[in-house]
Amino acid sequence: MTVNGNEGRRSGWLGRVFRQRLAEHEAIRRERFENVMARARAVAEVDPLGLSTLVRLISAPLQARATTSLVFQPVHGARSTYDLSDFFGTLLARVTAEGGTADQVSVHLTEARYSLRLGRDPILAVPWSESSLTNAIANIGHSRCMGEWRADFNHKVELLLPFGLTLVHGGNHSLAAGITNAEGAVVAETVTDLAPLYGHVRYDGVSMIRMHDGFNLWTPVDEELGILFEIGRLMLEHGVRYDAQVAADNESNRDESDESFPICYRVLVDGQDTGYSLSGSGATRALLQAEIEPGSAEARSVIVEGAAFTHRNRAGEDRRVVLEHYGRRPLVDDLERVAHLSIYGKD
């Protein structure tokens, strides 16, 4: 009985400590929320359009945690990608007195398309594969083998209005590289307007609260989500939305050049087709390595007429290289990346 009594008292003490710490955490979170909203109201008084800049400011640590989740954690410790359930607990959360869910109340703008600039607009890319993230970081970007970041059909993002946070549903790894390098733009072809939710849900600094009965729907793990939601309310009150640019009619997430095919060159080494192609910049770099001046008559004979030139590989062996115009093939930006034994021998 004494042992059980001691265990009971210890359990009660631990419970009190837990509740006290939880209360302290909630108090700190509410204070941070009020500080941000005070700043938001001050910005709105000067110019409501400045709220978009505040959104980017508040989103910065959230975006950083999303992008670096896999870097700081073992692969199984990386968080999952974000969606609306991170705001409301579940897409099936009933938010209206009639039982309407968060997803049902939101409006999907089927005709809206916005161009989002990586490195500027708050995009929550969450890499989850170690190999894919390594390849993206190593290969994508200015002067890297795959060149500067470009959108393709794999990139699928959802813009949340009015506050402008963007969720990623495809292309997390390459988007993480583009965000970090601040290169490129992606088109949000899925746009969700949360404006109708503001009559039913509010964030109180800790949790998302259903307004008609005061029910606690969900406590977002990331406080920035709730804060951004309430900045969105202020935006609605002032008649503004996040300042994302409307996408041009010809802008899309498809990798298309002005021509039918990209400028690239089939690579033949000692008469053997390697199965790869070089980009235009990769061909220029290869010529420079061979001490051929770009724009010279010799360079034109190589890239226009298909004349051969000599490339010395890492093993110190000279190989006869021919570049031929071609359409689409696996595209690289560095001759050293054409991984074929006939070029390099053994390093």
**Rounded to whole angstroms, how far apart are CA atoms 126 and 82?**
8
Q: In what order do the strands lie in the sheet with 208-210?
A: 201-203, 208-210, 216-218
What's the confidence (pLDDT) of residue 257? 42
Q: Which pLDDT value is given to residue 17?
A: 78
Does the predicted TM-score (pTM) go above 0.75?
A: no
State the pLDDT at residue 4.
64
| pLDDT value at residue 2 | 53
Collapse the DSSP code of 319 into the 3-class scheme (helix H, G, I; strand E, B; otherwise coil) and give the result: strand
Residues of the chain with pLDDT under 70: 1-5, 8, 75-76, 254-263, 295, 304-305, 325-347
Tell me how crowded residue 73 is: count the other CB atoms within 10 A of its CB. Answer: 11
127 Cβ contact partners less than 8 Å away, ≥ 6 residues apart: 67, 69, 70, 78, 133, 136, 172, 173, 176
3-state secondary structure of 282: helix
- Mean pLDDT value across the chain: 86
Question: Where exactly are the structural domains of the chain?
Answer: 28-246, 264-344
pLDDT tens digits for range 216-235: 999 999 999 999 999 999 99
Residues 6 or more apart whose CB falls under 8 angstroms from that of 5 comprise none
Task: Render pLDDT for 274-322 as a digit per residue (tens, 0 to 9).
Answer: 877 777 777 878 888 888 877 677 887 787 667 888 988 777 888 898 8
d(CA 235, CA 135): 39
Q: Which long-range contacts (CB under 8 A, 24 or more apart) does 102-108 make?
A: 102/197, 102/201, 105/196, 105/197, 105/200, 106/192, 106/193, 106/194, 106/196, 106/197, 107/192, 107/193, 107/195, 107/196, 108/190, 108/191, 108/192, 108/193
